[in-house]
Each structure stands twice: as structure tokens, then as C-alpha cells.
Amino acid sequence: MKTKKEVIIGALALLLASAVHTVAIEGIQIAVKCRDVILSWPSDEFSGETYLVQYRADLVSTNPWTTLTNFMPPDAGTNLTFFIHSNIVVHPTCGGSAPNAMFAASSSSQSLPSMVLRAAARAARMAQLSNDLALLMPPPLPANRPKRPLKNPASATILSNSSSVVVSSADSPQPPGGNPPGENPPGGGGSGFVPETGFYRVVRNNIHLFGVTNGTVVSGAMPLIVEFGSEDTNRFLDEVFLSNNDSDDNLPGSAFPRFPLASGGVPNGVWDTTQVTNGVYTLQLGAKLDNDTAYIDAPVTVTVSNVMWTPDPWKVGGQAIYVGVQTVFTSGTWRLDVYDDQNTYLGHLNGIIDSDGYCNYPGITGPGFSLDNTDGQGNQNPSTAYTLAMTVHPPAGPPYPSLTNTVLIEPAWNFAPTYAVTCYYQPFNPIKAGYNEVRAMMEDIWNTEQAFHPNLLGNFNTPFEIQTFGDWYNVLTKVGNPYGRDFIYFGHGAANILGVGTNMTSTNTVAIDTMDIESILHNNETNPLIGTNRHPYRFVYLDGCSTADAKWPLVFGIPKQKMTMDDFVVKRGIRPRAFFGWNRKKRFSDNFVTGLLDPDFQTWRTIFWATWSERNNQGGPRHNLNEAIDDAKNHANSAAGGATLYGAEDLVIDY
């Protein structure tokens, strides 16, 4: 796979006045032949990759890039691909002669028009370009030149980051000949006037995981360098994710920045490989734009190899600290050093490594153990956080460096009355029939669930209709109340937005996003079970488009992975929690003229809530979330596409 570097190409006179960077494939070159600009870059005709070439006359961020060609294949029979942008040079330097015919191509050309002509012209082309480029390009920059941050224009959808090469030096050579209008005829040599070419960028189409090839062995924190090219410059990158073997779930330990990216941001992420077991993984990088256009990379197989790892990362509940560390050793000992939230050393514990590689106490088998976090009389210790440092000592040789994690105490939920917030963003005009149907549906959901929580969750708030920013402020105030534990929402949604945001067709911008929720709940968006002053939620039901994408589960303190109640209660000593949303756009109306709710849409929700509240076999245990979803699918499968559940799939309504 080719290396990539940040490159600006264009007229040197313009380049010197700009500090904005764009992205290009390593080795991209530019040459000017009279009125034509000739781009070339290394390629492999058998790679299957295609290219996106874009142009703009200046680097003003409000001016859009123009796509010159898209899905352009590499040139055949050579390891270089050429693109010719014809008749674009202002004040050309033609050297007094007509341009070489082999370079005369239209602005829509992808390369020379025929395989025969390419093969015949290759030698002459390389000789001519070699001469042109020798005059145009500056000497190579030092190998140890420090990296510079990528600064993307606001409209950019081509994002990447690695080392930088910037063609911007006052001493850069200039092409010969060429004078400003009125000063000697062009092509006569003399003043060295620079032709104005504009600016170009070339990137591979789709999304790609850069720098990782089949068979790569990885350990610890693995950088996820992202290459992304989209022809749609009017949309924004909304989500990047890493899966194993094209599964629907994010790979544990993988994390990407918040989207949309801040100015100068890059979509690169990191994969903490110590959060999965050693073995072979088939990685696939994916992305979505804010209009749900999806991209997926070709799979690449890697081998994870760590001395120690935490397939169930260390977690802390109110009464117990769960430790689940596994090693490559099947004998030996371990030492666990414990520090409080003031970094004061509290002491250590010792144990043996069992035959499965788990760090356990003598006589304990299985994936780990729990530590009592009370004073022996049931009173929880006061520290709000602990740092645990595990060191393993194999039978022979020195001890291995510590695997360290900080775990936070979660307050018990049953020590105070708590409640749920139920709200909806009305998608219908009041004169439409669907307006009252939505209100009735939300009241039915509220009446169904609230009957089961007078002791667990206290009194519910009645369904709240959101119409203004002030209404959202009231909702956020209730969500942020320390006693809030359930959140139920219906309305427009997106990967990072509830309500109607600026990335939707409506001009109304009454909305909140994941940053609003994270700022009041303090749940860590990378790992929701760690963080300071966290406020996790028990059950979140976001009935809107694409709400299962991106950060919504995480900012409510719910892991974005499928788990069981035992994963929370037994392993972590904390209350189980679950999140329901949709991973695609949903149709809620069957007729926007009359404004009626879609019948299947209503049926799905009615059955889901009714089943979740019922008991199995007339008196048995209550149905769990998975069972409620399956029953709803059986009655209205056409409305179930994209239903996504994270956290405790077997959560019951009255737990």
C-alpha cells in the first residue's frame, strides 16, 4: 500500500501566500505544458483502486472543490497514472511552440484515450515529464522534518493524516520563460513569470485503512490511519467505525474522534488491542456521510499478540471491583497494585496464573475475580476511583511491564428515587392527522412503562412535546438530574443529532447533539464504563433515524456492544443497562399529504412495548428486550429494518 503525505500543488506565486494544506497520494507530481496542467502519481494497475481528482482556483475555504474526474482507474501497462487538465493555465508559458500532441486531452480526460497510444507514447512522455519536473520541483525535504498538522477546508470531504511534504519555498525553482501580459511575448524567456494554475488534490475513492497489510502482527494501541475520498463535497463525514469480519458491532477498544470534525481535525483513530483476546481478526473500516451514504473498505487480516490483555476490561461497581486479566503464560504469578483517586498507594494483592492464562486467586477458576469494595460491614469505601496496575511474573525471566487501568466507582441506583424522561419532537403539522397519532402513541408508551417503576424509578415525567430550544433546555435539565435513569424519545434523529438539525432538509434548527448529553452526564464516549462523575442511564430508547450510529449509546453510559445482564451484575457488580435505536433512516408516515402515521410503524412500537411489559407463560418471568423486538418483528417485520440493541439484550422492564 502506498504511503500518503500532505501536499499542496499549484502555482508557486499562490502557494507562498497560503498555509492551508490538502491531501494527495505520495509521489504526486505537477507539470505545466503551455496551457495544460499534467498530474502524475505512482499506481498499480492491478490494485483495483480508483481515484478522485479535484481542482479549485484558490484556497479560500468557502470556495468549493470542482471534481474533474471520479472513479478514475490507474493507467495500464505502467506504474504511473497521468491526468491532464487542459486549457486551464492563465498566462501560459508555451515556449513559442505548440503543445506536444501527446498531452492534448480534454478537461474530462482520465488519461490518454487508448491503450495503444499510451504504450507508444510512454517513453516520450517520461522523458518530457522528467525534464519539466526537474525544473518545477524543489529538492527533497529532510527525512526528519517534523510533521505539521493537517488543516482541512470546511467543505473538504477528503481526509487523511501522515507525514507532510509542503511545496512552498521562496527559493523553489520556477519554470523558464513567460512574462506578464504587455511585457515581452510569452514564451520568449526572460523574467521567469509564474503561470497561474490553481490547486489540485488526488485521493483514492472510498475509505481505506492506511499502513496495514494482511498478516500484520499488532499489539498495544494500534493507530488507525484513515484515508477517505468522496465525490460529494456537499456532505460531511458523520461516522467512522472498525468491525471484525464485517460484523454490525464496533470492535471493542476501537475509537475515532467526534464527528463532524473540528477545523483541522482528522478522522484517525486508535484500537486498543488489549481489549480483545489474542488471535486473528479480519478488520474492515467503514464510514457514513450525514445523508447515510455508506462506505466500506476491503478486509485486511491481522494477528493480535499481547503478553497481557483484558477481554473484559476492568470495571468498578458500587460494591465490587472486577478484574479480568489474561496472559500468554499458563503458570507463574501476578501482582496487583492498587491506588486511590488521589494516587495514594493502598497496597497490593498476589495470586497465581491459572492454566488458561487468567490472573486468579488460588482455588478460583474462570475469567477473573471481584474485589470487595466495602469496609467489611457493607459500607462502600469513599474513593471515587482506583488505579489498578497488574504485573505478571512468568516461571522464568523478568516480570513484564504493568498493564494499568483506572476504574471509577459507580453510585448505587437503589439508594435514591429515580425517574425517566419521555419526550418527542413532533414531525407533523398540527392540522395533520398524524399530529394526534404521535401524541397518543407517546402517551401509550408512557402509560405502559411507568406502571413498572414506582419503586425502581419513581414517578415518570409525562410525555413532553419539544417545539423550541427552551423545551430542549428543559429536557436536558431533567436528563442531567442525578435521579434520571431512563430516556425515551421519538422524532427526527441522526448519528449525532436529536430533533431537526442543520444537516436535515428542514430550515428549523431546534436540536441537541451528543456533545450536549456528554456535557451533562460526563460519560466517556470512548469507554462508557469509565470516567469522572459519570451519570449512566439504565434504558435509552431513541426512536429516530440513525440513532444507533456514532456516539448516542456511549454518551448515555451504555457500551456499544452486545452484552448480558450477567456481564453487568456478576462481572462488574453494577446495574445492567441497554440502548435501543435505529442504524438507518426510518419512514414514519405512509402519506405526507394526509399526514398519517405508517400503520406498520405504529404496530411495531405497540407490540414492542406490550411484549416487554408482559410475562412469559402467564405468570413466568417478564419478556426481555430481545424477545420484545422479535415479537414486534413477527407482527410488523417491514418496519423492523435497522432495529439495533446495545448493552444488556436480556434486560427486563422491571429490573
Model pLDDT, residue 581: 93
CATH number for the domain including 439? 3.40.50
Q: Does residue 489 carry a pLDDT above 60?
A: yes
Residue 633 lies in a domain: yes
Model pLDDT, residue 6: 27
Residue 379 lies in a domain: yes
Residue 655 lies in a domain: no
- Same domain for 436 and 384? no
Model pLDDT, residue 108: 36
pLDDT digits (tens, 9 = 90+) for 379-416: 667 666 788 899 999 988 788 888 887 776 666 565 55
Among residues 338, 336, 449, which one has the least CA distance to residue 387?
338
- Same domain for 354 and 499? no
Average pLDDT score, the chain: 73
Q: Does residue 100 carry a pLDDT above 50?
A: no
pLDDT band at 480 (very low <50, low <70, confident <90, very high): confident
pLDDT digits (tens, 9 = 90+) for 136-164: 343 443 333 333 232 232 222 233 322 22
Q: Does residue 175 carry a pLDDT above 80?
A: no
Q: Does residue 305 carry a pLDDT above 90?
A: yes
- Same domain for 521 and 582? yes
Domain boundary among 304, 319, 351: 304
Residue 44 lies in a domain: yes
Residue 176 lies in a domain: yes
pLDDT band at 533 (very low <50, low <70, confident <90, very high): low
Q: Does residue 116 carry a pLDDT above 60?
A: no
pTM, to two decimals? 0.58
- Same domain for 198 and 210? no
Residue 440 lies in a domain: yes
- Same domain for 510 and 582? yes
> What is 432-460 written as a DSSP string?
SHHHHHHHHHHHHHHHHHHTT-TTTT-PP
Model pLDDT, residue 317: 60
- Number of Cα atoms under 13 Å in the Cβ half of residue 483: 12
- Same domain for 286 and 316? no
Strands 279-289 and 294-296: antiparallel
- Same domain for 375 and 470? no
Summarize the confidence of residues 460-465 as an average pLDDT.
Answer: 73
Helix or strand run (H / E) with residue 135 = helix 115-136
> 269 forms bridges with which residues in the sheet?
224
pLDDT digits (tens, 9 = 90+) for 220-253: 999 998 888 877 767 778 888 898 886 666 788 8
Model pLDDT, residue 433: 82
- Same domain for 68 and 164? yes
Residue 654 lies in a domain: no
Question: From residue 587, how far is each of 41, 148, 230 by CA, in Å?
Answer: 45, 45, 26
Residues 471, 427: Cα–Cα separation, whole Å = 15
Identify whether the C-beta of residue 343 lies closer than 8 Å to the C-beta of residue 376: no
- If one counts the domains in the chain, the total is 4
Question: From residue 643, how far is each of 53, 275, 293, 585 by CA, in Å?
Answer: 38, 26, 18, 11
Residues 608, 632: Cα–Cα separation, whole Å = 5
CATH number for the domain including 332? 2.60.40.4070
Q: Does residue 418 carry a pLDDT above 90?
A: no
Domain boundary among 253, 272, 304: 304
| Domain containing residue 426 | 414-648
Identify whether the C-beta of residue 631 lies closer than 8 Å to the C-beta of residue 548: no
Phi, psi (5° rounding) for residue 138? Answer: -75, 170
- Same domain for 285 and 418? no
pLDDT band at 651 (very low <50, low <70, confident <90, very high): very high
pLDDT digits (tens, 9 = 90+) for 184-233: 443 334 444 556 678 888 888 888 888 888 999 999 999 998 888 877 76
- Same domain for 200 and 211? no
pLDDT band at 123 (very low <50, low <70, confident <90, very high): very low
- Same domain for 186 and 328? no
What is the C-alpha end-to-end distance of the chain, expressed in Å? 51
Model pLDDT, residue 609: 92
Domain boundary among 145, 173, 204: 204
CATH number for the domain including 277? 2.60.40.10
Summarize the confidence of residues 67-87 as an average pLDDT.
Answer: 89
Residues 210, 204: Cα–Cα separation, whole Å = 11
Q: Select, from the ranges 1-15, 157-171, 269-283, 630-644, the one with the highest average predicted confidence (pLDDT).
A: 269-283
- Same domain for 366 and 273? no
Residue 393 CB contacts under 8 Å (≥ 6 apart), including other chains = 332, 333, 334, 335, 399, 400
Q: Does residue 265 carry a pLDDT above 80?
A: no
Model pLDDT, residue 578: 96
Q: Does residue 109 carry a pLDDT above 80?
A: no
Residue 653 lies in a domain: no
Task: Indicate left, alpha or beta for 287 from its phi (over 0: left) and psi (-120 to 50: alpha).
Answer: beta
Residues 601, 556: Cα–Cα separation, whole Å = 25
